[in-house]
Amino acid sequence: MYNILIVDDEKIERNGIKMLLKRMGVKLGVIEAENGREAYNYIVSDNNKGEGHVDILLTDVKMPFMDGIELIKSVKDSGIKLKTIIFSGYNEFEYAKLAVRLGVEDYILKPVDPAEFKSTILKVISELDDELRKNEDYNKQANNLRQFYLYSLINGSAADGIVEDTEFLNGFNRLVLVEFNSDYFGKYEFDFDKAVQAVKGMHGNAGESSTDNKTIPWIGVTDYQYLNLNPQQSVILLKMDGTADVGDGMEKFLTYLHDYIYEQSRQFMYAAVSDFFNNCNKLSSVMDELEILMNNKFYQTDIYIFSNYVNDQTPVLVQIDDDALMKQMKQDIKMKDVAFLRIHFDALCKKYGGQSNFSHIYIKFVFSNLLKDFYDNIPGTSEDEFSHEIDKLYTSEDFSCIMDIVNKNIDLLEKTFGTNPVVAHREIEMVKDYIHGHFGEEISAQQLADMVYLAPSYLSSLFKKETGQNLSKYIKQYRMEKAKEMLEDTNMKIVSISEKVGYPNVSYFCQSFREYYGVSPQKFRDGAE
User: Which range, 53-62, 102-111, 336-345, is most confident?
Assistant: 53-62
- Indicate whether 178 and 233 sit together in one domain: yes
- CA angle centred on 454, ends 319 and 407, rounded to 5°: 90
Please answer whether residues 426 and 341 qualify as being in contact, where contact means their C-beta atoms are separated by less than 8 angstroms: no
The pTM assigned to this predicted structure is 0.48
C-alpha 256/C-alpha 265 separation (Å) is 14
User: Does residue 448 form part of some domain?
Assistant: no
Average pLDDT, the chain: 82
What pLDDT is stored for residue 490 in this prediction? 92
- Phi, psi dihedral angles at 442 (to 5 degrees): -70, 130
Average pLDDT estimate for 503-513: 92
- In which element (H, E) is residue 30 found? strand 28-33
37: CATH: 3.40.50.2300
Which helix (H) or strand (E) is 106 found in, with range?
strand 106-109
Within this chain, do residues 412 and 439 fall inside the same structural domain, yes or no?
no
Amino acid code (one letter) for 87: F
Residues in Cβ contact with 377 at an 8 Å cutoff, skipping those fewer than 6 apart:
333, 413, 416
Q: Give the number of other CB atoms < 10 A from CB of residue 312.
A: 7
- Residue 143 inside a domain? The answer is no
**Residue 54: strand pairing partners:** none
The closest alpha carbon to 173, from 278, 93, 33, belongs to 278
Residue 487, CA distances (Å) to 127, 249, 480 in order: 112, 71, 10
The angle that helices 471-489 and 445-452 make with each other, rounded to 10 degrees, is 110
CA dist 412 and 402 (Å) reads: 16
Residues 462-474: tens digit of each pLDDT: 788 788 888 999 9
Answer yes or no: is 223 within a domain. yes
**227-231, 335-339, 341-345, 479-483 — which is least confidently predicted?**
335-339
Does a structural domain hold residue 390? yes
The reported pLDDT for the residue numbered 242 is 63
25: left (phi over 0), alpha (psi -120 to 50) or beta: left
* Judgement on whether residues 405 and 503 belong to the same structural domain of the protein: no
* Residue of higher predicted confidence among 388 and 145: 388
Give the mean model confidence (pLDDT) for residues 277-291: 88
pLDDT score, position 209: 44
Rounded Cα distance between 305 and 236, Å, is 14
Q: For the residues 238-242, what does the mean pLDDT come to? A: 82
Find the DSSP H helices in 273-378: 283-294, 296-299, 308-311, 322-334, 338-353, 360-375
Distance (Å) of CA 436 to CA 174, 408, 443, 445, 508 = 57, 39, 11, 15, 21
Residue 281 lies in a domain: yes
Residue 465 maps to which CATH number? 1.10.10.60
pLDDT > 60? residue 244: no
Domain-embedded: residue 138: no
Amino acid at 124: V
Range name among 244-253, 448-457, 507-516 with the lowest pLDDT average: 244-253
**pLDDT at residue 296 in the model:** 76
Do 43 and 128 belong to one domain?
A: yes
Task: Find the farthest-apart pair of alpha carbons in the chain and give their distance in angstroms, rounded.
Answer: 143
201 and 298 in a common domain: yes
Query: Cβ(254)–Cβ(178) under 8 Å?
Result: no
Residues 349, 296: one domain? no
d(CA 285, CA 289): 6
Count of structural domains within the chain: 4
489: buried, middle or exposed (CB in 10 Å: 19+, 13-18, 0-12)? Answer: exposed
CATH number of the domain where residue 180 is located: 3.30.70.270
Residue 433 and residue 391 share a domain: no
| Averaged pLDDT, 52-65 | 85
CB burial of residue 346 (10 Å; 0-12, 13-18, 19+): middle
User: Which residues, in sequence order, are CB contacts of 285 under 8 Å at separation 6+?
Assistant: none
Cα–Cα distance, 483 to 494 (Å, whole number)? 9
pLDDT tens profile 130-181:
888 877 776 677 777 888 888 888 888 777 777 767 788 888 999 999 999 8
Q: Do 7 and 114 fall within a single domain?
A: yes
- Structure confidence at residue 318 (pLDDT): 39
Task: Look at residues 84, 115, 132 and tell me which one is the last residue of a structural domain.
Answer: 132
359 occurs within a structural domain? yes
Statement to judge: residues 388 and 462 lie in one domain: no
Residues 268 and 300 in one domain: yes
Q: What is the CA radius of gyration of the chain?
A: 41
Q: Which domain holds residue 463?
A: 426-443+455-528
Q: Which DSSP string corresponds to 400-436? A: HHHHHHHHHHHHHHHHHH---S----HHHHHHHHHHH
Q: What percent of the chain has a predicted confidence (pLDDT) above 90?
A: 15
pLDDT, position 301 = 66
SS3 label, residue 503: coil
Do 303 and 200 lie in one domain? The reply is yes
Domain boundary among 266, 291, 311: 311
Of the candidates 132, 159, 183, which is a domain's last residue?
132
DSSP code at position 103: T
107 belongs to a structural domain: yes
233-240 vs 174-179, strand pairing mode? antiparallel
Q: Give the residue among 434, 454, 436 at the shortest CA–CA distance from 446.
A: 454
Are 304 and 326 in a shared domain? no
Asked if 27 and 76 touch (Cβ cutoff 8 Å), the reply is no
